[in-house]
A = this chain, B = another copy of it.
Amino acid sequence: MKFELTILGSNSALPTSKRFPTAQVLNVLERFFLIDCGEGTQIQLKRFRVPMSRINHIFISHLHGDHFFGLIGLISSFSLQGRTNDLHIYAHSKLEKIIRFQLDILDSKLGFKLIFHNIFGKEIQTLFEDAALTVQSFPLRHGAMPCAGFLFKEKQRPRHLIKEMLDFYKIPIKARHGIKMGDDYLTEEGELIANAKLTFAASRPRSYAFCTDTAYFPRIVPVIKQVDLLYHEATFLKDDEKRAKSTYHSTAEQAARIAKEAEVGKLLIGHFSARFHDLSSHLNEAKDVFANTELAEDGNVFSILNT
């Protein structure tokens, strides 16, 4: 059962020839959630063999171009490919205006519905929820630009029934739902069978948090506490901490401090400034604070296994 993140773009505002602007896709049980959509995202989706038609939900953190300029092209390509499924876009309300203005002036008729969901940006907001997953947004700190982080959390699934034991105790079907939810079972003879004898636990729910663009902002720590995987921007190195502060970005060390305080499983750093070709200093600086750090470079894939 997959819970797998693919990095499509890892650079900050000015792309390089090797690193595209921000975009990622999270595969949760073969549903593909697109997070940010910088210019060239559709090209990266092809390159890294992501099944585009299985993307139904797109989350845009904020309206700097390097996080959404690829969206109009992706929508156009969906249309050319004959898409009919609804496409849900979660973003600041201005994005709907930008996209619809272009579709209207070019008289583009889409064969599918575009459904925009406004991210208010001032508090934690549940954007998506179904039986298996919730996606929430929470505010980051990126100057005057409203900017949202995203938290993807699997739900705790009910316990698994042990069929042989149910048969052994002749437990009727109507009692089974309660047992899945943790009830013990009282037989007709009055024997109490402990739930642990009848079931075993489902996998631990997995979680991913995406935090870009943002200055160092410890207020997010309780929100992302103990996520399995945290992506946090690390545009600069600590030598440039002043510049990071004035541009509302983070250093690699600050990203690692957030990871440490939040006790996450693994930290991924990205959104690198275009002037860095070699990223080993970013990695080392973060690892000094939080050892389980990796670079989130274009094409890298990070899986969280069921445990």
Q: Which residues of A contact B (CB under 8 A)?
A: 13-17, 20, 39-40, 42-43, 46-47, 63, 65-66, 69-70, 72-73, 76-77, 80-81, 94, 97-98, 101-102, 105-106
Contacts and interface: CB of A to CB of B under 8 A. Distances in A.
A40 B40 CA distance: 5
A16 B46 contact: yes
A94 B106 CA distance: 8
A66 B74 CA distance: 11
B40 A43 contact: yes
Contact of A80 (B14, B40, B97): B14
A200 to B, nearest CB: 43
Nearest to A20: B43
B15 A63 contact: no
A69 B73 contact: yes
A65 B69 contact: no
Nearest to A69: B73
Contacts of A46: 15-17
17 contacts: A14-B81, A15-B42, A15-B43, A15-B46, A17-B47, A39-B39, A39-B40, A39-B42, A39-B69, A39-B73, A40-B43, A65-B76, A65-B106, A66-B76, A69-B73, A94-B106, A98-B106
Given A39-B73, A72-B65, A73-B69, A80 B13 contact: yes
A16 to B, nearest CB: 6
Contacts of A65: 72-73, 76, 106
Contacts of A17: 43, 46-47
B106 A102 contact: no
A82 to B, nearest CB: 11
A275 to B, nearest CB: 12
A81 B13 CA distance: 10
Q: Report the 3 A-B pairs with minimum CB-CB distance, sorted nearest first.
A: A17-B47, A17-B46, A40-B40
Contact of A101 (B69, B77, B80, B98): B98
Contacts of A39: 39-40, 42-43, 69-70, 73
Nearest to A97: B105
Given A40-B40, A65-B72, 6 more contacts: A39-B70, A39-B73, A66-B73, A66-B76, A98-B101, A98-B106
Nearest to A74: B39
Contacts of A43: 15-17, 20, 39-40
A106 B63 contact: yes
A67 to B, nearest CB: 11
Contacts of A66: 73, 76
A250 to B, nearest CB: 19
A72 B101 CA distance: 14
